[in-house]
Structure 1
């Protein structure tokens, strides 16, 4: 999530509460937690609030990965419909972790970028592919690809290994 949106949210909360509630934004893992650790860090009281991509929480909460199933949602209109249907389930899952979902930011769905045309499922059989979560890894493994789950912050260091030649 971009820092600008978080700073804007913090400013709006301060204004709405006459500065009784102030949020300090710590971006980019400054507090020592990576995205996949945030759900547990908030649940365990290590931080009072936090942001993360839902898909990064699939290992802890498979429900939160529903929106990252490749090709499930295509475009913002379908995303709005998905959120309308999924929100009660997400709210229930956050309640299970003693949390409250305050806001979300639409994020692009899974995509594949490749140097060659992907004309059929067979095309994936010899492909190494970067995925962002377990859902993507499972999906592409089913197609015969060799997926590697690599967080965004680890992509640049992984480029020389060849794992990021294609990505989702």
Structure 2
């Protein structure tokens, strides 16, 4: 090969490389802990599609559902470190890092979607500030249906659960299990069916959506609709990754996040009703709690609210004041 031919080849490769780099889309990854059947995951797909469409593919975010890329508990650290650019996480699992993250896991503090939204608006400034310290930016949140009780046998009072092993998915739930005289067992969503079938747990408090997603009728018989609290997922982005985007793309992401949050709060009530109906259709006994069980759980909720306030009186006091006023 002549020197001229060689030079032309090198030049051609270089130009081709520059051309492909200029047209190459920004590829991001967004791990989520829940399966494709969950509303939260479906909203994540819609969110990322809106970004892809409105940037003409220049920002292409791949959703990795069901903990397939990063385990749930590792998602916050992965986003913080920049291992992934974006992620979705159940807010309550951050409770050991700062007690403000526990606000939507306190039993009977907010049990309707209206109250849950007011509580979120009260807590949001504190949450965003804390995430910012950890190098993350809050994008949007999606609520879950109210959390209720799954059990193999009917539960009319806490005495019916005494000594059983209860699934816990956050520090607050572990404390709740203790106060219910049950043993907390940390079980992630994909492992629920096996945990029940092998006797690792005998009961859990979670949403009807998680029950449907994990086909709860295969391993428990009763769903007692205690509506204990309404937790949320948050979607966060690595601050450095976000800042590297041009202003127009940043705005597309923020607009898509705003739409995702609005869709979540609008659709969640309908999804809750649909999922409860699915539990019933598959043979589960779906019932309201007995007055005794309600009173016992409310007493626990009061205890847990006081304990929560004691963890950070100033910060939590501000959240409660904003919520209650």
* TM-score, normalisation: structure 2: 0.47
Paired residues of 1:43 and 1:99 also in contact (CA < 8 A):
yes
The alpha-carbon deviation at position 124 of structure 1 amounts to 4.2
- Is 1:27 aligned to 2:65, yes or no? yes
Q: 1:41 maps to which residue?
A: 78
Q: 1:91 maps to which residue?
A: 128
- Is 1:5 aligned to 2:35, yes or no? no
Paired residues of 1:54 and 1:65 also in contact (CA < 8 A):
yes
Paired residues of 2:166 and 2:183 also in contact (CA < 8 A):
yes
SS at match of 1:73: coil
Q: 1:139 maps to which residue?
A: 176
Q: 1:52 maps to which residue?
A: 89
The alpha-carbon deviation at position 23 of structure 1 amounts to 1.1
CA distance in 2, matches of 1:89, 1:105: 17
SS at match of 2:185: strand
The alpha-carbon deviation at position 129 of structure 1 amounts to 1.4
SS at match of 2:166: strand
SS at match of 2:63: coil
CA distance in 2, matches of 1:109, 1:58: 19
The alpha-carbon deviation at position 61 of structure 1 amounts to 4.1
The alpha-carbon deviation at position 111 of structure 1 amounts to 2.1
* Unaligned stretches of 5+ residues in structure 2: 1-33, 206-325
Paired residues of 2:164 and 2:201 also in contact (CA < 8 A):
no
CA distance in 1, matches of 2:165, 2:156: 13
Q: 1:67 maps to which residue?
A: 104
CA distance in 1, matches of 2:47, 2:78: 21
Paired residues of 1:70 and 1:110 also in contact (CA < 8 A):
no
* Unaligned stretches of 5+ residues in structure 1: none
Aligned length: 166
Kindly indicate which of the two structures has a greater share of residues assigned to strand. 2
* TM-score, normalisation: structure 1: 0.86
Paired residues of 2:166 and 2:185 also in contact (CA < 8 A):
yes
Paired residues of 2:48 and 2:62 also in contact (CA < 8 A):
yes
Q: Which is worse superposed, 62-71 or 46-55?
A: 62-71
The alpha-carbon deviation at position 21 of structure 1 amounts to 2.0
CA distance in 2, matches of 1:15, 1:86: 32
Kindly indicate which of the two structures has a greater share of residues assigned to helix. 2
Q: CA RMSD in A?
A: 2.0
